[in-house]
Amino acid sequence: MANVVVVGAQWGDEGKGKIVDWLSERADVIARFQGGHNAGHTLVVNGVIYKLNALPSGVVRGGKLSVIGNGVVLDPWHLLNEIKKIGEQGVEITPDNLMVAENTPLIMPFHGELDRAREAQAAGSNARIGTTGRGIGPCYEDKVGRRVIRVADLADPATLEQRVDRALVHHNALRAGLGLEPIDRAALLKELNAISAAVLQYAKPVWKVMNEMRRAGKRILFEGAQGSLLDIDFGTYPYVTSSNVIAGQAATGVGLGPNAIDFVLGIVKAYTTRVGAGPFPTELLDADGDRLGERGREFGTVTGRKRRCGWFDAALVRQTCAISGINGIALTKLDVLDGFDTIKICTGYSLDGEVLDYLPTAAEAQARCTPIYEEVEGWKESTEGARSWNDLPGAAVKYVRRIEELIQCPVAMLSTSPERDDTILVTDPFAD
């Protein structure tokens, strides 16, 4: 059976939640492999809206195993609250359908405090990254610094105290420099002990279970968060997230070998958006940009921040397709482009008189890149809710085909509304 990785191929917010939900009906296991609860996935199922941050999108589907892998950083308090909230919508989460890797790093309250203090200190300067302030980055820093608290540590009070003490030596020094009060050790340990049993009921050796599932021929769907252009190595650094977002992380993030990946599906909007600071070559600061934002309802699921909008950047998506080894893309929100007389596609950049077909690595050079546009015909007819190629206007089909040519990757799926069934399947990612 084929195993599929779903990754965002732009700056996130591409519509991964709907596509993962659509695919999860055919999967046996849905696994989150990186990121944290800074990722917002909105699912619309039978008219019911589910908003998830920490939980894999598969939890809304009965009979599936959802997995939070070791590549994720997990806020345990947020997890328990999200389980409770989604339970109030009629979705039952139990240790039978949710599994958390024992070696998953835990986000502590002081991680979020540090995150927000740093952003506040950098306010009004180019040093501000534009994080969600939820402690994702500081937790990944502690993981690399070997001072993070992991899920398994909750099971042993003595080990937990040692982990907390090691973290506090580092963080109290940082807090002093930022003008924050020292961390209350006793209060933190009390909070952790209070939730330990609730969290530990989901703890498992994920690497072992996932390998057993694979050997048994189960279909695994790897669910990525954020987007490839926010990857810590290949994104628009330093305006990136703190984890590897690209497809190669899927195996490492759950404890499988790279040969477990059979198909990589990249999620791509029919235009481009970005939240927060950083370069954005095709950004539109005009009526067309406002129109895209209004029609696409471009506000962040997690923060509510208005997203920056621009034309489709084929040069960037071609780049992310290559880095993640994307086999096919799922093109979303085509309907947002309905009604435009003409539509522009970025095919490359001009930098100091030189034409580039990729975005350079240096931040200073990225900021000075000017997009080179190709103009294509728009369409007046509605594409919303289309479920076959025959339902699409001819100009819309031409637009999709031109994108395929420019990014050098075929369209495997086409989404025409937030409803899961409004999807045109071209290539089945799960086909062997």
Instruction: Give the catalytic positions in this structure.
Output: 13, 41, 143
Backbone torsion region of residue 63, taken as left when φ is above 0, otherwise alpha when ψ lies between -120 and 50, otherwise beta: left
- Residue 289 marked as a ligand binder: no
- Residue 304 marked as a ligand binder: yes
Residues 265 and 9 sit within 8 Å (Cβ to Cβ): no
* DSSP labels, 56-83: -GGGGSTT-EEEE-TTB-B-HHHHHHHH
For residue 332, the cross-strand partners are 269
For residue 425, the cross-strand partners are 413
- Residue 13 marked as a ligand binder: yes
For residue 351, the cross-strand partners are 354
- Residue 398 marked as a ligand binder: no
Helix orientation angle between 157-178 and 109-121, rounded to the nearest 10 degrees: 10
- Residue 303 marked as a ligand binder: yes
- Residue 319 marked as a ligand binder: no
The helix/strand/coil state of 26 is coil
- Residue 351 marked as a ligand binder: no
- Residue 172 marked as a ligand binder: no
Q: How many CB atoms lie within 10 A of CB 257?
A: 10
- Residue 51 marked as a ligand binder: no
- Residue 146 marked as a ligand binder: yes
CA 351 – CA 392 distance, rounded (Å): 37
- Lookup: tokens for 420: 């899961």
- Residue 282 marked as a ligand binder: no
The upper half-sphere exposure of residue 79, i.e. CA atoms within 13 Å in the direction of its Cβ, equals: 28
CA 21 – CA 267 distance, rounded (Å): 13
- Residue 180 marked as a ligand binder: no
- Residue 306 marked as a ligand binder: yes
Numbered residues of the known binding site: 12-18, 38-42, 132, 146, 226, 241, 301-307, 333-335, 415-417
Numbered residues of the known binding site for substrate: 301-307
Numbered residues of the known binding site for IMP: 13-16, 38-41, 132, 146, 226, 241, 305
Numbered residues of the known binding site for Mg(2+): 13, 40
Numbered residues of the known binding site for GTP: 12-18, 40-42, 307, 333-335, 415-417
